[in-house]
Structure 1
Amino acid sequence: MVGTIERIWRYPIKSIGGELLDEVAVDARGLAGDRLYAVRDAQGKFGSGKNTRRFRRMPGLLQLQSRYPGGTATEVPELLAPDGEPVPDPTSYVRHYLDRNDVEVAREGAISHFDQLPLSVLTTATLDWVRAAVPGVPVDERRFRPNLLVRTPPGTPPFVEDEWFGRTARIGDVLCIRFQRSSERCVMINEAQQDLPHSPLILRVIAQAHDMRLDALATVAQPGCVQLGDTVELT
């Protein structure tokens, strides 16, 4: 056993703040409803903190939050303004918020909203290392947008996730995931969001210590359910 599930995060709308869950179903696509919607412009590029072939920089999206009413992904997600209040029309709000008329909150179509693999897993050992490396800068897992934060035993080294690549883990009684590789981080982790201020130090220390990589990305080997307190056991 390498740890237990400390927190579960789902992000109904890509590049926007997510919601904490007590439990959720997981299938081949990942957490039910995760990143099922995105802010998209007329060229089909997704709202983000950077400009690339796939993304369009749209500053301020991380100040917003999203959630599914009632906690199930069977409905259209709610978009929450910076003050935490749900807005009546997500697309209209985002157009006004970004001062752009060419964007919409759209459901996933033929092009996947995932940047890489369905699941991102981060350990408290690695998160604690980041905190110690940037004293004075508020850091929690929201900067790295994992789906699962795993509480590791005392003494676990940072970046222990690297040792899991190529391994399968059972989470709880049924769910099995296969660890593949880590995420290459970008300026998104420096961005301000809600009560976390902007800081360029975070990406800098990860670049210096770990080649800009942090977390473990995984595919789903056997669908199931994950809930808080589940054990994570390498098999």
Structure 2
Amino acid sequence: MAKSRKPATRSKRKPAAKRDGFTLRDILRWSGRGLAALAGVWFFFVLLFTVVNPVFTPYMIAESWRHGGISRDWVAIEDVTPGMARAVVAAEDANFCLHWGFDIRAIRAALDEGAGRGASTLTQQVVKNVFLWQGRSWPRKALEALMTPVVELIWSKRRIVEVYLNVAETGKGVFGVEAAAQAYFEKPASALSATQAALIAAALPDPKGRNPARPSGFLRQKAAQITDGAATIRADGRAACFED
């Protein structure tokens, strides 16, 4: 007589013990969440600064610590002499109204000519000045390249110029064109002449080494070129995007 077989019983598996520490997947997941949070905070400030003026920038804080304070007075673009905005655009980014944040022609020219020529647009400089840090580094340039199209999409061209006029370094511990006008010419930015505006714009590449109030022959020559350039972009319509 055949023996009856007992039904096989499945062995109960003990729950796997929790692993100590973090795995690579955990690290990547939390890193991704952290980056997304930082991107969200940055995007919030991009939206906020469409209507709220930046109180300070990372570079302003660093320079304030270095010099024991800075000189800076925010001024609305309509309270700045129109020649100042045109001079800055003519000096730094003549095709500002024609591009979406990157000047491809300037980039190609910079590649052809080497390190002696810059290709940063006004928008790129605003992104660097407001949200990032100074100096030449690939991480900063990569972030700048990612942020620039977003700022171009959300801010108006007029707003970009207005922010630039107020956050650009214009001297040792001096930021913005209003503080520069007071420091160099003892008058408000609304009362600057075309020549004085051009001198301030000519000093922008080296604000700590160039003095618009005591210009060298080189600075005067550069300012004259900027004055001509400002007249040109007004005549050919390349100033229309930031003027009334």
So what's the TM-score if we normalise by structure 2?
Answer: 0.23
Decide which structure has the larger Cα Rg and report it.
2
Question: In proportion to residue count, which structure has more strand?
Answer: 1
Q: TM-score, normalised on structure 1?
A: 0.24
Q: Which has the higher helix share?
A: 2
